[in-house]
Structure 1
Amino acid sequence: MASHRSGAGDPARTLELLWRKDLPTPSGQRGPKPTLSVDAIVVGGIALADEEGLDALTMRKLAERLSVGPMTLYTYVPGKAELVDLMLDGLYARMERRAPKGTGWRARLEAVAHDNRALHERHGWLAGVSTLRPPLGPGLMAKYEYELGALDGIGLDDVEMDAALTFVLGFVESTARASAAATAARRESSQSDEEWWSANAPLLSRILDPARHPLAARVGSAAGAAHGATLDPDHAFHFGLERVLDGLVVLVSRKGRKRPGPPRQAP
């Protein structure tokens, strides 16, 4: 389960910051112009989260990283909740977009899935953020517009287009969380999955009874031998994405069959 969520800060202030309106402009101060900016704070927050995780990101630690006092930081961003939304939108705005491998909608949507997976791989802390209340900033809106383009003109209505995109992105997020959990398990145990299974093989062989659970023993052994672990995130992503897209093929085909043809001319 995600331990953080977007949209947790003050909505009005968050939207002002996302769209860079009504930014604080310190006045009445003598001396050089301030070198700090909202953009610099966002970049610093992303870097800190990438290095230490989102739980480690605090306004005080970020202020130290930016060589300013915590109170100075608060004059630009009200708190961590608003900062997380700014960080998310900043990543969305800078997402790399690969060229699809084909010309059809399936190739376009596959590219969208790979783009989002790559974003999660570069910023592992994203898997711990729930975006049910997404940051409605320029980065997100541009991302949504671009990704909907993969489904435009293929016969789906607007609600179905949104649902299909949500379906694909939800799959990507679920595999990203599983991958992040596997990475955390390896880090905390100081063992690779293969090392963990090897160390626990004698115990597991006493627990798992092929006579009592023949399918579990056979299939589990085959999968473990194939992947060297209970989960291979790369295989899970590629296998699952193909099945997700196969499901959408059925939807698009069904919509095409229901689409009315041109009206018949009277004899």
Structure 2
Amino acid sequence: MTPDAPSRRTPADADAPARTSAGDPARTLALLWRDPSALPRRGPRRALDVDTIVDAAISLADDEGLAGLTMRAVARRAGVPPMSVYTYVPGKAELLDLMLDAAYARMDRRPTTGLPWRERVRAVAEENMALYEAHPWAAAVSTLRPPLGPGQMAKYEHELAAFDDAGLDDVTVDDCLTHLLVVVRACARDSIEAHATREQTAQGDEEWWAAAGPVLERVLDPAAYPRASRIGSAAGEAHGSAHEPAHAYRFALDRVLDGLERLVEGRAGTAADG
């Protein structure tokens, strides 16, 4: 796993806020679950299906980010007239739900049966980081109102199982999973942005420091900022940059797991005392 190099694409979508469940909820859920009532009837001018449109949209977003995701561009990628896309999907809001749910459904899921809960939870983190490596646009989508399709539900079911036998109540299990996924998503976004910065500036961190370092040494008084000077220099020398996303992800994941372990052990101790 190399979270510092998740994709060849740039996250232009960071400037275009996007969220799931922004369309008509009833129509979206019907489409997500492929309810026949929500699907267009096939005919001579409807040679495609919803899945083909979703695949075209995912391919487009993978290449151009969410900023390049328009219904016209999706139609062009699918090879159909622009207005025909609307016979399959009402609009971009519903399409985004379908895209993310499809990405969830296709995630690789590591077999973890028989492993300790901590290793199962680590696998969940790695699976989500892999999702963002494959589809950087997914990290830019707010899922506070999740899409609630079959892909989302399968993902949620799988991830909750990582906490089986940890001795936590249902609400705490959901809290723990949410905490883990929030941290992974934040690390993924940093990784994506770092990759984009290198591409957009055609300059690596070492080159940037080579230009900025001498100026900083000239203007910065270490006596005025002793901790920043000492610790910043040590960290920069250790990681080769002011912020190294792969290291930050590994450190954050270990700390999350350590914290969850203390929680699990504390609950176990309370149960034993009772």
State the TM-score, normalizing by the size of structure 2.
0.90
1:153 positional shift: 2.3
Residue number in structure 2 paired with 1:201: 213
The alignment-based identity, stated in percent, is 56
Residue number in structure 2 paired with 1:3: 17
Greater Cα offset, 183-192 or 107-116: 183-192
Structure 2 unaligned regions, length at least 5: 1-13
Mapping for residues 164-179 of structure 1, pairs under 5 Å: 164-179=176-191
CA distance in 1, matches of 2:265, 2:236: 36
Mapping for residues 111-150 of structure 1, pairs under 5 Å: 111-150=123-162
Contact residue 102 and residue 108 of structure 1 kept, 8 A: no
Contact residue 109 and residue 151 of structure 1 kept, 8 A: yes
CA distance in 1, matches of 2:85, 2:243: 42
Counterpart residue type for residue 113 of structure 1: A
Secondary structure in 2 matching 1:259: helix
Mapping for residues 152-163 of structure 1, pairs under 5 Å: 152-163=164-175
CA distance in 2, matches of 1:14, 1:75: 14
Higher relative contact order structure (alpha carbons within 8 Å, sequence separation ≥ 6):
2
Deviations 1:32-57 (A, max 9, x none): x7321100111111100001111101
Q: Structure 1 198/164 Cα, relative in aligned 2: closer, same or farther at 3 Å?
A: same
Greater Cα offset, 210-219 or 163-172: 210-219
CA distance in 2, matches of 1:152, 1:145: 11
CA distance in 2, matches of 1:26, 1:245: 49
Structure with larger Rg: 1
Contact residue 27 and residue 38 of structure 2 kept, 8 A: no
Contact residue 72 and residue 82 of structure 2 kept, 8 A: yes
Structure 1 unaligned regions, length at least 5: 263-267
Residue-pair matches, total: 259
Measured on the aligned residues, the alpha-carbon RMSD in Å equals 1.8
Contact residue 117 and residue 162 of structure 2 kept, 8 A: yes
1:25 is aligned to 2:40: yes
Deviations 1:204-261 (A, max 9, x none): 1123221111111111111111211111111111111110000011111111011157
CA distance in 2, matches of 1:232, 1:97: 27
Q: Structure 1 211/150 Cα, relative in aligned 2: closer, same or farther at 3 Å?
A: same
Mapping for residues 1-267 of structure 1, pairs under 5 Å: 3-21=17-35, 22-26=37-41, 31=44, 34-100=46-112, 103-260=115-272
